[in-house]
Each structure stands twice: as structure tokens, then as C-alpha cells.
Structure 1
Amino acid sequence: MGLRDDLERYSEVGEDRREDLAEFIQYGDLGQSLPDEIHIPIKIVDLPEFQYDRRDKGGVGQGEPDVGDPVGQPQPQPGDDGDEGDPGDESDEHGYYEMDPEEFAEELDDELGLNLQPKGKEVIEEIEGDFTDMTKTGPDSTLDFERMFKEGLKRKLAMDFDPDYIREAMGVEGWGPDEVFRWARENNLTVSKRWVEENYDDLPEDERSKWESIEEMESNVQPTSTAQKIREHGVKNIPFRREDERYRYPEIIEEREKNVVVVNIRDVSGSMREKKRELVERTFTPLDWYLTGKYDTAEFVYIAHDAEAWRVERDDFFGIRSGGGTKISSAYELAGQILEEEYPWADWNRYVFAAGDSENSRNDTEENVIPRMEEIPANLHAYVETQPEGKAINATHAEEVERHFAETDNVAVSYVNGPEDVTSAIYEILSTEAS
């Protein structure tokens, strides 16, 4: 086994022993990751590496100094200061398993048992599929002859009759063309009256009284079915008609790009202290990674609010703290404006995620927030309540939203009182959309 094999083996071990994903989301350092590159800590010892013996000035083989060719002196390594160090001191580059958002989404699906299927919105290409659709006109090369043959054959089977059997009925004593035609129709024999009249005229006189009654004729003569005649004599004279013609053309398949915009709303008022802010970050960050991995194109809008709302960059979103009051509806008003102007519902999937400690100004939830949520079309609205130190008396926003939308299938409310609740909240939110 060579060095390369050793390195691959250690890498595989590292992947197998990386942090459990749920544990990483609940307690890990999310700040080490980037939006498109997630770093999951690996629980293994440092990779083995060679250390030169600085006292040895000779070659790499055994024996006397003049045996073997020297291969050069070791180059200074980062951190060398003349003291002998322990092998593997420089281990940072092996401390994380790198995962892109797509892999993260797959892993989280497995971890939580999710099955979110993104929906395509904007049509980016139309391609021709299989020739499965039909039209009444088209080039001769696309004529579906097999279908036309089947239609003609069905017509033949429906219209065909046994002429010899009907001629036998003409031999019933006292019957004429009218009686024979009436009997034929009663027995679903699709013969024309003209045919009966012409064949009756051709029938010799001595054969017109062959049978005393129709019952005698039916008990002595059995008709030959169309299927039996086809088996014995094959198919002749299939009645093709213009209306049976159908021409195949390709199914037009619309390729739709899976676009998503995620609006993250956070309460930054004075009551949102550090522990609450950390729980918001722990919940929203994996949601962002997950949806980035699920969709072809993912864009994010970050809105902070106290009594007023304003748009911020992601780097500022989780750290802002204000001393003002709280009016959650201000954030939904701004979210609605941004979505309407920049992310039309016809082209974008939409997720609107809000988080806070459920404290809100008097009657704002019922009179303003709920109507705004109903006015904003979205795949999913979600509210995350963070209350690590126990719920305040006036923290009723989450309960009001949950009560109002109890029968609605695109609104989720979750409660996060500590890191251990984060993955359950993520599951509740995403499973609502997946269902």
C-alpha cells in the first residue's frame, strides 16, 4: 500500500467520523462555514507525516555514508524555529470535512427523513420529447398507420356479418325481405335493407321455403363469426377512412429552472439578547444551506426590524441589536414590497421565514401581520419563536399565528428554547413544505 492509498484511507475514515449533522447544527461552530462551503468538524487524529532527523546529514538509505545518493536536505516547514516538534502539529487543514450545499441537503434529508421536491417556475427551454402526442394533420412520414389499421379493423368487426347465415333466413317459409331485415336488426347483424332485397331476388324459388320457421333455421345453422373468418381466410378490405388518420408529433417538454428566494426576517429589538440571536442563527443558517442545495438558483433577502424594518446584508443580519420597540408587521410590509418588485410569484418559489421572541406591539399580529402573511403568495411562511429563558407574558405572536393558520398547509410555527430544539424546528418547517 503506497502513500496515496494511505492518504485516501485516512480521508475515508475522516468522512466516516465527521460530526453527526444534527449535533453540528445544534452545537457546532456554524461561523467556520461559507454560504457555498460548509465545514463539518472531523473527529480523528492528525494525518501521519514524516519528520526529518536534522542530525543526519547523509542519504536516505542504511549503511555507510558513502553508500547511496543524497536526495537533498529537508526544507524548512511552517512553524520551524529550531526546536524539535511532535509529528502532526500542523493539523488545521485536516480538521474539517468540506460539504457543498447540495450534499448538505442530501445529508439533512437522510438525517431528518425529509423529502422536499423543488418546483420549477421560470421556463428556460422547450425541448422536443418522444412522439407521443397526436394531431389530425401532418407529414406522411409521421402517419400512425398502426393506429389507423386498428380503427379500420374495429369498424370491420363492428360492421361485418355472415352473408350465408342471412341467406339461410331468407329460406324461412312465408318470409320476405322485410321480415329478414327486421330479424337481422334484432340480432345486431349490420346488414343493409338493399343488400337483403338484392340477395332475396337472386334466391331460387325452391330455396325460399327451406325452413318451416326461423327457430328451425337457428337450431340447424350456426353463424360464422368475423373473428373466425379472419382466422380462416385472413383480413381483406379493411375500411380505412380519412377521420381515422392521426399523425404523431413530439411532446413539447418545458425545462423549468428551480428558482427560490428566501426572505429571512429577524426581530432586533432590545429584548432580543445574545442567546435568542444565537438560536435564530442556528435555525436560519442550515435552512439557507439546505434550500441553496435544493434549488438551481437561490437568492436571499435579509430584513431586520424593531418598530421599523430595513434591509440588511447577511453579514450584519445576525449581529444587529436595537433599543427600540417591536412591530413585526413593518417587516412583512417591506418583504411584500421587495418580493413584488424583484421576485414575481410566477417566476420564483418563495419562502418567508421570521424569527423573534414573540413579543409584538398591541394588536399588531391580528390586525396587521396575519393579513400581510395572507397577501404574500409563498411556498411556505414560517415563524420561529426563541425563548431560552422562559416565555414572557406578552410573548403571544407565535401562538396567535399558529391558532389562525391551524388549517393552512403552508404556514409553520416552531418553538426553540435551546440548541436541542433546533433540528426539530427545522424538520417541522421543511416537512410542512414537503407535504
Structure 2
Amino acid sequence: MGLKEDLDRFREVGEQRREDLKEFIQYGELGRSGADEVKIPIKIVDLPSFEYDQRDQGGVGQGDADVGDPVGQPQPQPGEGDEGDPGEEGGEHEYYEMDPEEFAEELDEELGLDLEPKGKRVVEEKEGPFTDITRSGPDSTLDFERMFKEGLKRKLSMDFDEEFLREVLKIDGWGPRKAFEWARGENLPVSMAWLDDAYEEIPRDERTKWESFETVEENVERETVTEKIRREGIKHVPFRREDERYRHPEIIEEKEKNVVVVNIRDVSGSMREKKRELVERTFTPLDWYLTGKYDNAVFVYIAHDADAWEVEREEFFGIRSGGGTKISSAYELAAELLESYPFSEWNRYVFAAGDSENSSNDTEERVIPMMEQIPANLHAYVETQPTGTAINATHAEEVESHFGDSDDVAVAYVTGPEDVTDAIYTILSTEGDSDE
């Protein structure tokens, strides 16, 4: 077995023994993972081993002789220091590593999601299949099949069995006028002028050859246009200049799937440790998922109390202030930062989280209007209230009541880790199909 087979086997065993993805998101240690690498603990199976019984009770396999010399000394294990102290670094073999693309694929399967990212920015134009049609072009691109069909349709619509019509003109008492009326009833494209000319060419003694039309049908075999074409060949199909069309390659735009995600978090005094942990447990998998879904993902992190400011990812989940809460300040900053990412070129997600406490009337008068004014694929608010509800925690309810079942606004409630995956599903399954 070669190195590649060993690696494949290692990954296979890791997939089988690693922690369930849903369980990992709800209760796992997310902090060991990075922005581009997800580490999921592998459930290590302890192998059985013999242990020495300190109680001198005798029994099978235990003699009365003195204890002999030890067979050997235990060897230092990796991670142990010179004095036998435990090492400080964890073993890499204890984690199954996946990139965001694999994480997104598995989360789709786990939660039944079907988010299909939209391409926005055009990065390349190239020639596709020859599906477009023009009136001019090089001879090598002439669409002969189309031209033949046009000529054939003309042949079928304009041609008729001339010999049969000449025999019809020989019916006693008919002549050109009655033959023309019969031809119109048969939808034959013959003109009165053609019948007049053909009648003049018939000798007078043959103009009464047939007693009736039924007699003609009994004695003269009719030939359809299709049969005539088969007999004469395609050289008699009338091609015209206006039938010529030339195949032209379709121009295909290659679009890059870009996304900018604005993560907003309340850091006011009411956002204690458990609430912050629920925000992290919800937002972190969302970041991994969208990173795996899009070609290019940019994340913006905004913290706010009564004021808002931009922060780095590393400090986003740990910040806590003692100030009050004004959620609209975060949306004002978000609108300013999103000016660098036009909606025509970037997919946009604006995710906010907090305990739903907000300053008086700020949700109705400022936040909701700004959510309506900021173009985005999806706006979402996640309420994190471990105790369930608070008297003045009304922001999520107000947003949900205003937007109802809108396909670009989601509201989720997280009271504990067990609610996280449901909240993630609510958010990611809300986005509709419309581009803008």
C-alpha cells in the first residue's frame, strides 16, 4: 500500500469516526478552526489493555514467588518532557480537517440546503457554441441545413402536380375558371394565368377528353410534392439569397461568484458570555459555509453598543462594552462600508445578532427603513436569549412582524446550542431566487 492509499484510508477512517457535523456545530470546540480550515474532533477508540491488580489476593496466574526483574522500562511518549511532564501541543491526528468547500457540501446534505450562488462580476468573455445566427459571415459558417429547410418549405408551399392539373382542364365543360375554383379548394398554389396558358396549349379535340372529375381520378395518378422532390432530387429545391444564414459563436460571460458578508454583533453590557457564545456558534459556521460556496468571499465585522465600529475577526466575538444599545448605528456603518461592494458586482449578506434589546423606537424608525434601503441577497437577525425572553427584548419580533415571510429577510431565535443548526437552516433557506 502506497502513500496515497495510506492518506485515502486515513481520511476514510477520519470521516467515519469524526464527530457528527451537526453535533460539532452545536457543542464542538469551534475555536480550534481557522477561517479557511475546519477541524472536527475524531472520536478516538481506546484499545483494551491489561492493568496490574494492586490487591494481593492470589488467584489463577498469580504465584507465590518473589517479584522478578522488570522486563523493560516504559519509554517516553511523544509530547512528554524530560521530567515526564505532559506536552503542550495536541496531536494533529485527533482532528479531521476539511476546507470550507467540503464543509458547505456536507452542511447542504446534513440540513437539506440548496443554496446556489449567483455569479455577479464578469471576469471573462469567451466564444461558446455556434448557436447565434447572422445574415453574413464566412462561407465555412453557412448554415446549409437551415437554408435547405427554408427552400424545401418554399417548394412545398408553391409547387403542385402540373400534369394532373392539365388533365383536369380536359374535363368536358370545365375550362380554366372551374379548374381554378377546384384548385383553391384543394389549397393548390396555382394562378389563373397559369391555367389560362396551359388551357391554350391543349388541342381543341382533347378539351372534352374526360366526362367528369371522378373519371380523371380513376385514370390519372396524382403525384405529391414530396414524391416529386424524391424523383427529381434536391436540385429542384429553390434556394434564395435571403435564405442564407451564417452560424455565429455565442459570447459567454464567465462570472465570478463574489460575496461580501457583513457580520454585526451587539457588544453592549447586556451581552454577557453565554449570549456571546451563541453568536459565535451561529456566525462561525455561516462564515465557513459562504466561504465554501463562493469563489471570493470578503467578511466585514461590525461591533456596536450605542455607537458602531469596524473590528477584525479575531476580536469580533470577544468584545464587551458597558454602553447602551443602538442597533441602527451598525446599519449606518454597514451602508457606508458596502459602498465599496456594489450590488451589481457583489452578492451581499447582512447578518446581525444580539439579545434583541434596543433603544426606544430605534428598530421601527431607523433599523427597518435601513434594512429596506440596503440592497442585499439576505438580511438576517439572530436573537440570542439563553433565558428565553426579556421584557424589553423586542427587536427580533418587530423585524419579523414588519417583513413577514419576505424572501430576503430572516429572523432566528437561539436560546441554547441545540437551536443553532435550526437557526442556520432558517437563515440559509430564506434567500429567494431573485438576483436583485
TM-score tier after normalising by the smaller chain length: 0.7 to 0.9
Aligned pairs (5 A) from 1:43-192: 43-45=43-45, 79=80, 81=82, 92-192=91-191
Please point out which of 384, 398, 401 is paired with 2:399: 401
Q: Is the deviation greater in 292-301 or in 388-397?
A: 388-397
CA shift at 1:45, angstroms? 4.4
Match of 1:416 in 2: 414
CA shift at 1:378, angstroms? 0.6
Letter in 1 for 2:207: R
Separation (CA, whole Å) in 2 of partners of 1:188 and 1:283: 73
Separation (CA, whole Å) in 2 of partners of 1:229 and 1:201: 25
State yes or no: 1:349 paired with 2:350: no
What SS class does the counterpart of residue 330 from structure 1 fall into? helix
Match of 1:296 in 2: 295
Separation (CA, whole Å) in 2 of partners of 1:272 and 1:89: 33
Separation (CA, whole Å) in 1 of partners of 2:174 and 2:408: 77
Separation (CA, whole Å) in 2 of partners of 1:399 and 1:297: 33
Please point out which of 398, 413, 428 is paired with 1:430: 428
Match of 1:339 in 2: 338
What SS class does the counterpart of residue 424 from structure 1 fall into? helix
Aligned 8 A contact 2:275 2:384 in 1:
yes
Aligned 8 A contact 2:229 2:236 in 1:
no
Letter in 2 for 1:93: E
What SS class does the counterpart of residue 302 from structure 1 fall into? strand
CA shift at 1:179, angstroms? 3.0
Separation (CA, whole Å) in 2 of partners of 1:90 and 1:335: 40
Gaps of 5+ in 2: 48-74
- Alignment CA distance shift 1:203-1:300 (3 Å): same
What SS class does the counterpart of residue 97 from structure 2 fall into? strand
Q: Is the deviation greater in 295-304 or in 357-366?
A: 357-366
Superposed CA RMSD in Å reads 2.6
Match of 2:273 in 1: 274
Match of 2:226 in 1: 227
Separation (CA, whole Å) in 1 of partners of 2:10 and 2:136: 65
Q: Is the deviation greater in 223-232 or in 326-335?
A: 223-232
1:274-304 CA distances to partner (integer Å, 9 max, x unpaired)? Answer: 1001000000000000000110100011111
Match of 2:252 in 1: 253
Letter in 1 for 2:385: Q
CA shift at 1:250, angstroms? 0.9
The TM-score normalised by the length of structure 1 is 0.87
Q: Is the deviation greater in 143-152 or in 167-176?
A: 167-176
Aligned 8 A contact 1:46 1:94 in 2:
no
- Alignment CA distance shift 1:305-1:78 (3 Å): closer
Match of 1:358 in 2: 356
Aligned 8 A contact 1:116 1:434 in 2:
no
Separation (CA, whole Å) in 2 of partners of 1:277 and 1:348: 29
Separation (CA, whole Å) in 1 of partners of 2:140 and 2:10: 61
Match of 1:68 in 2: none
Letter in 2 for 1:419: P
State yes or no: 1:390 paired with 2:391: no
Separation (CA, whole Å) in 1 of partners of 2:5 and 2:155: 73
1:183-202 CA distances to partner (integer Å, 9 max, x unpaired)? Answer: 32232111123321221111
How many positions carry a matched residue from both structures? 406
Match of 2:57 in 1: none
CA shift at 1:247, angstroms? 0.3
- Alignment CA distance shift 1:6-1:155 (3 Å): closer
- Alignment CA distance shift 1:5-1:141 (3 Å): closer
Aligned 8 A contact 2:36 2:99 in 1:
yes
Gaps of 5+ in 1: 48-73
Letter in 2 for 1:133: D
The TM-score normalised by the length of structure 2 is 0.87
Letter in 1 for 2:162: P
Separation (CA, whole Å) in 2 of partners of 1:198 and 1:230: 24
CA shift at 1:93, angstroms? 2.0
CA shift at 1:227, angstroms? 1.6
Letter in 2 for 1:26: Q
Aligned 8 A contact 1:117 1:434 in 2:
no
Match of 2:59 in 1: none
Percent sequence identity over aligned pairs: 72
Separation (CA, whole Å) in 1 of partners of 2:399 and 2:221: 79
Separation (CA, whole Å) in 2 of partners of 1:244 and 1:412: 55
Letter in 2 for 1:17: R
Aligned 8 A contact 2:380 2:409 in 1:
yes
Aligned 8 A contact 1:144 1:248 in 2:
yes
1:85-137 CA distances to partner (integer Å, 9 max, x unpaired)? Answer: 99x99861211111111111111111111111111000000111111111111
Q: Is the deviation greater in 368-377 or in 74-83?
A: 74-83
Separation (CA, whole Å) in 2 of partners of 1:291 and 1:205: 91
Q: Is the deviation greater in 412-421 or in 74-83?
A: 74-83
- Alignment CA distance shift 1:434-1:34 (3 Å): farther
1:125-168 CA distances to partner (integer Å, 9 max, x unpaired)? Answer: 01111111111111111001111011101110111100111112
CA shift at 1:17, angstroms? 0.5
